[in-house]
Amino acid sequence: MLAYLAAGCLFLVAVLRDSARRRAAARTVLAAGLGAHSVALLLRWRDLYGVALAHAASPDFSERLRLVFLYVPLSNFYESLVFFAWCLPFTALVVFRRQRQPYVGVVVGLLAALILAYASLRVDSHIRPLMPALKSNWLLIHVVTCFLGYAAFALACGAALLYLWQARRPAAGLPALSELDRFIYQAVVVGFVFLTLGILTGAVWAESAWGRYWSWDPKETWSLITWFIYATLLHARLAKGWQGRRIAWLAVVGFLAVLFTYLGVSFLLPGLHSYLT
């Protein structure tokens, strides 16, 4: 958490002062934070596997291997927050590794630090028994694809907010509007692909768990609404030639829908995904 906060602050200074040295230092700190975060996730995974193994009756090698991929640290609200925070720097450093603008690091570092702070201070981190519906190999694929999509949408939203600020109050040292517009589009494309995969794998998982691909559960419904918002953005961009503020506002609205799908639905609209709270 502290590494992400430090990286976000360093990136912010790099934006304000246009310092290549500070950008390099910030990327190093962000990468170190991602490394430490990855180790923490692996340790949590090990603990979950240990609990599962303790309750298994003389498991052979194939059963042990099945338990490794069955008990992944993605099954409750705390673990999903920690994984979402991990996806942010991973997306910035790996998926968008060629995009070295410091404003991306500001969004990633500060948002990841905020999420981890909330998870550490306000969310129960105890390991709980895995619900029967979650004992599926689809859990790993579904959650990973969804949160990688969420992370890309978060970057698009951050760039969109900066675009709207820059369009209203141009400032020296900030990225050009055309560059921000291009990054918003690229991030939305990446997020849309992952969200689509997440919805499809979720449907397959639902069929194996509950016997139907789609049940109009609140989480499913809002995931579809979010998908349509971003589909509208891409259609407007590719078919209508939309650019600039209209695309930026759609990126912001889309991420608000992401937040409601992830957080609002879990707390306000009970359904099949209520275990996330």
Phi, psi of 98 (to 5 degrees): -85, -10
pTM, full prediction? 0.94
Nearest alpha-carbon partner for 86 in 71, 98, 74, 100: 74
- Statement: residue 276 has pLDDT above 60: no
For residue 224, what pLDDT is reported? 97
Phi, psi of 216 (to 5 degrees): 55, 35
Phi, psi of 126 (to 5 degrees): -65, 145
**The tokens of 188 are what?**
């939305």
Q: What is the pLDDT of residues 97-129, one digit of tens each?
A: 887 778 899 999 999 999 999 999 999 999 888
For residue 89, what pLDDT is reported? 97
What is the residue extent of each domain of the chain? 1-73+99-130, 131-277
- Statement: residue 247 has pLDDT above 70: yes
How high is the mean pLDDT of the chain?
91
H, E, C per residue of the chain: CHHHHHHHHHHHHHHHHCCHHHHHHHHHHHHHHHHHHHHHHHHHHHHHHHHHHHCCCCCCHHHHHHHHHHCCCCCCHHHHHHHHHHHHHHHHHHHCCCCCCHHHHHHHHHHHHHHHHHHHHHCCCCCCCCCHHHCCCHHHHHHHHHHHHHHHHHHHHHHHHHHHHHHHCCCCCCCCHHHHHHHHHHHHHHHHHHHHHHHHHHHHHHHHHHCCCCCCCHHHHHHHHHHHHHHHHHHHHHHCCCCCHHHHHHHHHHHHHHHHHHHHHHHHCCCCCHHHC
pLDDT band at 211 (very low <50, low <70, confident <90, very high): confident
Q: Other C-beta atoms within 10 Å of 128: how many?
A: 12
